[in-house]
Amino acid sequence: MSAVAAQTPYGGQLVDLVAGPERAAQLREESRDWPSWNLTPKQLADLELLLCGGFSPLGGFMGRSDYESVRDSMRLSDGTLWPIPITLGLPEEMAQSLSSGDRVALRDPEGVMLAAIRVHDVWAPDRDLEAERVWGTTDPRHPGVRQLMEGSGRQFLAGDLDGLARPTHHDFTALRLGPVGVRAEIERRGWEKVVALSTRNAMHRAEQELTLRVAEELGAGVLLHPVVGPLRTGDVDHFTRIRTLQALLRHYPADTAMLALLPLAMRAAGPREALFHAIIRRNFGATHLFVSENYAGPGKDAGGPFHGPDEARDALREHEAEVGVTMVPFETLAWAPDRHAFVGEHELRESEPVLTISDSELQERLESGRELPEWFTPPEVARELRRARPPRSEQGFTVFMTGLSGSGKSTVANALMARLLELGDRSATLLDGDVVRHHLSSELGFSREHREINVRRIGWVASEITKNGGIAVCAPIAPYQALRDDVRRMIEPAGGFTLVHVSTPLEVCEARDRKGLYAKARAGTLEQFTGISDPYEEPDDAEVTIDTTSTNAADGAQAILDHLVAKGYLRK
């Protein structure tokens, strides 16, 4: 096959920040005297793409001038278009201990040194301003804003970056090619044009048909390039998503499509992210990028949409010449049974019947065990989806109770546990707040920070139980709405989640005072006590509400069981 002209990297050449063996050995030796920082998942993903050239022409984490310029104008300080800040945040105490010229070892969660940075810039960012400029909102429900605000770093650090090794991955290693590997495969296949698709969910026959049509029109190959970094935004975990893509890939004609993974931390930044993805895909060799409506933006579940339906497409259209990647609209195709073919909206005949299955209907079919027709998806893809999302009656789930001390949470939880064990439908575990404190959080006090840690631990254990098909019944006080939201987000990808508000009024709980805690709180000997000296934020999203003033434990448990049956998690 004759050689083809490859797409040039953004900025002219791929950046390679990985030091040679001798330099790497020297850095490891010297690092014994340096402070270390264990990178967060987002920072780890950013470092990987810096080291391998996926973020070319960036040569490291941004300094203050580049950061502010990108934040305010989508350009580096030298004028190069760049839409998303790439920064390294550290805790304030650590950052303030560093001086210009100091070295810091950057390590993975297991402590393996991946890079060294020589400090030349430390500053405190204006996070609210960054959220407003980059995401267009400071709404904490937005996952990108929440990621920014809750990040570990109160201050940003920049400096010369020397890489020692790319992060280690143990999953789908043959698909983690990096820009050099993907470009080599494109060259081997002789593709002059490459249209990339960033897949957030499983692909089905309509999406495959669209990619094939566009590829044929362009004379291009198809790069299926799913994002597998942190900040999950799709309906299935990345393991399931990649298995479905591997299954679908077998239905493409030979040498028309390839699959590679992109270890990118999503920002959910809409139009800015569309530009960001286009630049990255150019570095991987793509010449075109599919862009859907509301591309890379969070939906209604996060309080959105935060951007108009064509803003992402318009952003890439406006900057196509500068980015060097052409925007391809991702069109929705429908199945025309009379023609036995997929058709676009412009191809429909008058009154022609068509069939589609929306994302919500797909989830309903999976959860109810209904058929996924073959015109919609190949049987191998359907099989993978059913493995990941069995019918609700076979899924694990969590019942998460919240309420004041003395509200009756534990009593109702014990009654519910007894009924669940009677049914014998699945294994069930009770995670009572006080019991978990004794066995899992005995070192914690009762400050807000420590109470939140305890609830997060309960949520994590519950998510593991749920993921493995069991039932978790949780009964902490969990007084803060944001924390309960975090627990819901932690568990819902693994299975079912039901929030139960045990709404017994404060005066009733205080009158009971079985542990004498309210008396101590009133006397001032027990600080930060929920309902007295610390707030309880009543939930507005509880699926079940129980007031034990007028409802006994057995009836409360029955109300929860009725809800679980109605939602399909338990059989009648």
- Of the ranges 407-421, 447-461, 505-519, which is most confident? 407-421
105 and 68 share a domain? yes
Examine residue 5 and state whether it is found in any structural domain, yes or no: no
434 and 500 share a domain? yes
- For residue 47, pLDDT beyond 90: yes
Mean pLDDT in residue range 379-394: 92
d(CA 165, CA 118): 17
Examine residue 352 and state whether it is found in any structural domain, yes or no: no
Structure tokens at 75: 């350009």
d(CA 445, CA 429): 24
Confidence of residue 361 (pLDDT cuts 50, 70, 90): very high
- For residue 436, pLDDT beyond 90: no
What pLDDT is stored for residue 1 in this prediction? Answer: 35
The DSSP annotation for 251-262 comes to TSPTTSEEE--B
Confidence of residue 432 (pLDDT cuts 50, 70, 90): confident
What share of the chain has pLDDT > 90, as a percent? 78
d(CA 20, CA 424): 59
Confidence of residue 443 (pLDDT cuts 50, 70, 90): confident
**Mean residue pLDDT across the chain:** 92
Last residue of a domain, one of 145, 163, 181: 163
User: Hey, which residues does 402 pair with through a beta bridge?
Assistant: 501
Q: Residue 354 contacts by C-beta under 8 Å, 6 or more apart in sequence?
A: 334, 335, 336, 337, 343, 348
pTM of the predicted protein model: 0.84
Specify the range with the lowest mean pLDDT, choosing from 72-86, 284-298, 471-485.
284-298
What pLDDT is stored for residue 234 in this prediction? Answer: 56
Examine residue 463 and state whether it is found in any structural domain, yes or no: yes
d(CA 526, CA 523): 8
What pLDDT is stored for residue 456 in this prediction? Answer: 93
130 and 222 share a domain? no
Specify the range with the lowest mean pLDDT, choosing from 154-168, 427-441, 512-526.
427-441
- For residue 2, pLDDT beyond 60: no
- For residue 72, pLDDT beyond 60: yes
What pLDDT is stored for residue 326 in this prediction? Answer: 97
Examine residue 367 and state whether it is found in any structural domain, yes or no: no
- For residue 3, pLDDT beyond 70: no
What pLDDT is stored for residue 467 in this prediction? Answer: 92
What pLDDT is stored for residue 367 in this prediction? Answer: 85
* Helices and strands per DSSP (H, E), number in the chain: 21, 17
155 and 265 share a domain? no
314 and 461 share a domain? no
DSSP reduced 3-state for 547: coil
d(CA 492, CA 12): 44
Catalytic residue among 40, 199, 211, 466: 199
Last residue of a domain, one of 280, 303, 329: 329
d(CA 389, CA 395): 8
145 and 180 share a domain? no
Catalytic residue among 80, 137, 201, 256: 201
The angle, 0 to 180 degrees and rounded to 10, between the axes of the packed helices 271-283 and 311-318 is: 50
Catalytic residue among 64, 75, 200, 213: 200
- Number of domains present in the structure of the chain: 3
What pLDDT is stored for residue 149 in this prediction? Answer: 87
138 and 197 share a domain? no
Active-site residue flag, 272? no
Angle value at C-alpha 380, between 374 and 384, nearest 5 degrees: 115
Q: What is the pLDDT of residues 4-35, one digit of tens each?
A: 457 999 999 999 999 999 999 999 999 999 99
d(CA 211, CA 363): 24
Residue 134 near residue 71 (C-beta atoms within 8 A)? yes
Last residue of a domain, one of 123, 143, 163: 163
Examine residue 479 and state whether it is found in any structural domain, yes or no: yes
207 and 306 share a domain? yes
Helices (H), 443-491: 448-467, 481-491
415 and 517 share a domain? yes
Active-site residue flag, 199? yes
Higher pLDDT, 489 or 305: 489
d(CA 221, CA 258): 8
d(CA 260, CA 242): 9
Write the CATH number for 464.
Answer: 3.40.50.300
- For residue 108, pLDDT beyond 90: yes
Residue 268 near residue 296 (C-beta atoms within 8 A)? yes
Given CA atoms 440, 443, 448, 453 in this order, what sign does their dihedral have?
A: negative
Higher pLDDT, 448 or 545: 545
Q: What is the pLDDT of residues 62-71, one digit of tens each?
A: 999 999 999 9
d(CA 453, CA 441): 8
250 and 155 share a domain? no
Write the CATH number for 42.
Answer: 3.10.400.10
What pLDDT is stored for residue 152 in this prediction? Answer: 62
Mean pLDDT in residue range 299-325: 85
Cα of first residue to Cα of last residue in the chain, in angstroms, is: 64
Higher pLDDT, 148 or 557: 557
Domain that holds residue 240: 173-329
Q: What is the pLDDT of residues 235-269, one digit of tens each?
A: 678 899 999 999 999 999 999 999 999 999 999 89
Q: Which amino acid is at 403?
A: G
What pLDDT is stored for residue 304 in this prediction? Answer: 65
Structure tokens at 350: 């008058």
Mean pLDDT in residue range 368-373: 91
d(CA 263, CA 45): 6
